[in-house]
Chains A and B, each alone.
Chain A
Amino acid sequence: MASKHTIATRHAQGIRARFASRFLRSLLRVRRSSNRFGGSQSNDEGIGKRIRTDRIKIAAYAAMARAVGPRRTWSRALLFKLRNRARIHGVSRKRCLVSEKKRVTRNKVVAISREPSRADTLRKLVPGGDSMDTCVLLEETAHYIKCLATQVTVMQSIADRLLL
């Protein structure tokens, strides 16, 4: 089933359609899960919404990363991060922090204490940017921006359609 889906969507109008289909499905999943747990959203004003917000956000990023596939460094890094986060959420919070830090420092380019240059800021923003040199970083940033923009447009149109 998963393979069929990927094959079907691989060539379907590029990344936008792929992302849209994945995102919608994951959105439905989130809705169903939230409905199952909380009933309506007004149940828990603060935390429930936040959790759901995060879930939706994570679903969006995951859908985008999967739509892009493992071809890009940032998508691989993003998927890796999300998978670990999901796995670690199950285990415990404390362990999560520790292992995250370890993971991060392992991948990081040599840490020199200096004023964070622009490239470093960009590295923090782009997933998986720590282990890229400047040249690759710029390339990945370009692709990442493109995918983020399509993500935003799709989410926006979904929001529009949903509200009406």
Chain B
Amino acid sequence: MRPCSREMQGMNSLLNPSSQIPLQDLQNQQIQNSHFDPNLSSNEDFLEQMLSSCSWADPKSPWDLNPPTNLPFPTNNSSSSAKHRDLFNETPSSNSDSNNVGFRNSFDESVILASKLRQHQISCGNGAAVSDAAKMMLPQQLLMAVARGGLSLNDDIDGSLSQGGDGSIQGLFNGFGAGSMNGTDGASNQSMQHFNHPQARLAAVLQGGAMQSPNLGAHGAPATTAVMNQPQASGSNGGAPAQPRQRVRARRGQATDPHSIAERLRRERIAERMKALQELVPNANKTDKASMLDEIIDYVKFLQLQVKVLSMSRLGGAAAVAPLVADMSSEAGGDCIQANDNGGSLARTTNGNQTASTNDNSLTVTEHQVAKMMEEDMGTAMQYLQGKGLCLMPISLATAISTATCHNRTSGIINSHAHLHQSNGEGPTSPSMSVLTVQSMTMGNGGGDGVAKDAASVSKP
């Protein structure tokens, strides 16, 4: 991909008098790229040089000495393409023609037109710049030699193509325009198998060069990419095909290069896996792959931490749980609520544990708060409790629990969302449980009674 685009770039620069890419580089590229047969007579070299030079000439490129050559493609194409179509023995080509036809046409055309140009140039001496460009394009002969391999000069066509004067140069462009029109069929993969690698590449290059007109960019790209078996297709990621200048790019999803196909497959597989993961992981509104991965990593860590905490809760050791609580409250606070329901409540419970254990005052305050809220709205009260990691419980049940757990292992985390009980959750032994129970009874009789009565009716949120 890279060498070819560079070579085209180099060719383009050659057309500009102020070439930036040194000839040396071009030569090197050519030598690298091509394994073509350089056995050409000088005449033919020249011809093909012209051909190649013309093929990459952007219509707007500053080929100063021949302003007529910088004709916009679209205006000429329709007329010339019709004319050129008639000339060839293949079926009249339209945009939907197979590239095979198109390429044959273009090859014939190009050779013919090149010969025309040469004749014109020799006769008129007009193409001073052309000759210069031709000389500069000496290395390009290699490419042309390949094209020649599959072509047959058709002198008959010469006459019909004669336009004389500047028209021949114009004709070259037109021919390429026609060729480009012909070769716009995207499904040309099979056709390109007829050609050798180098031929195909050259054809692609020619087509690509011919299609540098932005108007034809969209059409040209698929044909060129179809042709390009080499990694010349600059990835199906290639943005707009109408990119400036001689960079032939593959349109999205059109690359025929096996490497890019495999890569595209791989990328698609990864994308669908990411989508599947998105559904599993909460907070999956991230569109960016990187942030999605971060989210996934965090979620896996969170789940593993939950398993750890749950295994600790079997023991119910406050000491073991307490160090986790800080982590849970800080890290998992936001996640818990959206994440696994149980997990969330667990986190909140542990959070509530710590707060309750550290400060009894806060507990009384909480109770008062809850009592007040329960007078207004039960739902918000329950939510408030749940947020704190507490919940309501009939006193009888609370006493039952306290007696049950006093000789059992220390009651660890009592999950708030599953049961109606009010507990500080933490509390290593029963005394604290009974304390809480007492507290709840003295909480505020109005609220307390309400609690006792309503506890049964309040359902699990």
Complex interface residues of chain A between 114 and 129 (CB less than 8 A to chain B): 118-119, 121-122, 125-126
Question: How distant is B26 from chain A, measured CB to nearest CB, in Å?
Answer: 36
A138–B300 touching, CB < 8 Å: no
A60-B307, A61-B307 given; A138·B277 CB < 8 A: yes
B273–A160 touching, CB < 8 Å: no
Q: Which residues of B contact A57 (CB under 8 A)?
A: 307-308, 311
- The reply on B343 being an interface residue by CB < 8 A is yes
B415–A138 touching, CB < 8 Å: no
**Bound CA–CA A53/B270 (angstroms):** 37
Q: Which of A27, A60, A144 contacts B300 (CB 8 A)?
A: A144
**Bound CA–CA A153/B339 (angstroms):** 12
A138–B274 touching, CB < 8 Å: yes
Q: Which residues of A contact B405 (CB under 8 A)?
A: 163
The segment out of B63-71, B86-94, B198-206, B288-296 that lies at the interface is B288-296
**Bound CA–CA A146/B277 (angstroms):** 10
Q: Which residues of A contact B311 (CB under 8 A)?
A: 53-54, 56-57, 60, 155
- The reply on B412 being an interface residue by CB < 8 A is yes
B300–A122 touching, CB < 8 Å: yes
Q: Which residues of B contact A49 (CB under 8 A)?
A: 312, 315, 317, 319-320
Count the A residues whose beta carbon is within 8 Å of the partner chain — how many? Answer: 43
- The reply on B414 being an interface residue by CB < 8 A is yes
Q: Which of A40, A50, A146, A152 contacts B342 (CB 8 A)?
A: A152
A118–B300 touching, CB < 8 Å: no
B313–A159 touching, CB < 8 Å: yes
**Bound CA–CA A145/B277 (angstroms):** 9
- The reply on B252 being an interface residue by CB < 8 A is no
Task: Name which of B294, B310, B415, B418 has the most chain A CB atoms within 10 A of its CB.
Answer: B310
**Further 7 A-B residue pairs, CB within 8 A, beyond A126-B300, A138-B270, A163-B401:** A56-B312, A135-B273, A145-B281, A145-B296, A148-B300, A148-B303, A151-B307
Question: How distant is A27 from chain B, measured CB to nearest CB, in Å?
Answer: 7
Q: Which residues of A contact B266 (CB under 8 A)?
A: 135
Q: Which residues of B contact A97 (CB under 8 A)?
A: none
Q: Which residues of B contact A139 (CB under 8 A)?
A: 273, 276
A142–B273 touching, CB < 8 Å: yes
- The reply on B372 being an interface residue by CB < 8 A is no
**Bound CA–CA A56/B277 (angstroms):** 28
Q: Which residues of B contact A56 (CB under 8 A)?
A: 311-312, 314-315
Q: Which residues of A contact B415 (CB under 8 A)?
A: 156, 159-160, 163
B304–A125 touching, CB < 8 Å: yes
- The reply on B194 being an interface residue by CB < 8 A is no
- The reply on B297 being an interface residue by CB < 8 A is yes
- The reply on B148 being an interface residue by CB < 8 A is no
